[in-house]
Structure 1
């Protein structure tokens, strides 16, 4: 491609992706307040998470790969919002993009594929918590129709300080 960008493909995540997905997630654990996990995870520890996102149903895992190298560029998930039965038509969504794959539209492709996959499911709302500040994530969520509903102030402590989480919702 003339721009130097390679084509990005989006597909459901599979078990063979586990090591690369774990490495990507661990970057955010080690380097950012984006996730409130504070210790890196092994693929074995992360496996139950992967298995909780099958190829069908309301809880999905979509993976973006470089079309040529098959390198994982990011992933998006829909997960249970809360465990109580009355919450079953709500999901929490999230996107993680590899640090060197930002500003290439990977997050947009992932969310587009995720919401398309969810369109036939018995879901009513999607929720997203965004550790603040995170302008890129806020813009992505607003682009997909999420609206701000409130902020939990200083709800998480990481790297020796407290972080706010802004909550967004989207009608499905």
Structure 2
């Protein structure tokens, strides 16, 4: 086994993951424009988000962990695209990888598990919004068959500037 190799396991997220998932997400809130949230969360504030992703159905939470330490290395979700009923066969997907775990295939493993879990669900399309620039996320989504459909220009303001969001879709 090469030095530094980490065996990654992917499983559905559970309530015991809440604190670690909140810490991971808060990194992206504080340090990046990847999410347009601007204030960090407590685990209790994030609990409704976690509970909205059960182990079955179209809205899933998959978690990647280090097989030895069980440290959370990242997560992927499918969530409602929009609240109106006609959108019910569409989901928005996202992936977050711990900063120290980037470039190791964690995002790929998470999306493989997420899309496998969604097979057989009554879903037609998956959508992903990628704050620009984010070449790694763009490459990941394109590897999974997402195609570019358009960009919302300067749609979000964070860190004193405006950010574009490129939208991608995938047939399910």
TM-score normalised by structure 2 residue count: 0.99
Find the aligned partners of 1:56 and 1:33 in 2 and give their Cα distance. 30
Q: Cα offset for 1:27?
A: 0.1
Please give the per-residue CA displacement for 1:5-43, whole angstroms capped at 9, x wherever unaligned: 110000000000000000000000000000000000000
Task: Give me the whole-angstrom Cα distance separating, in 2, the residues matched to 1:37 and 1:162.
Answer: 14
Residue aligned with 1:115, SS: helix
Cα RMSD, aligned residues only: 0.4
Give the Å deviation of 1:3.
Answer: 3.7
Q: For structure 1, which runs of at least 5 residues remain unmatched after alignment? A: none
Structure 2 Cα separation of the partners of residues 145 and 6 of structure 1: 27
Q: Deviation per CA, 1:148-172, whole angstroms, max 9, x where unpaired?
A: 0000000000000000000000000
> Per-residue displacement from partner, 1:82-141 (whole Å, max 9, x unpaired)?
000000000000000000000100000000000000011000000000000000000000
The match for 2:36 is 36
* Cα distance in 2, alignment partners of residues 171 and 3 from structure 1: 39
Q: Number of matched residues? A: 172
Q: Could you tell me how far 1:4 is from its partner in structure 2?
A: 1.7
Structure 2 unaligned segments of length 5 or more: list them.
Answer: none
Does residue 4 in structure 1 map to residue 13 in structure 2?
no
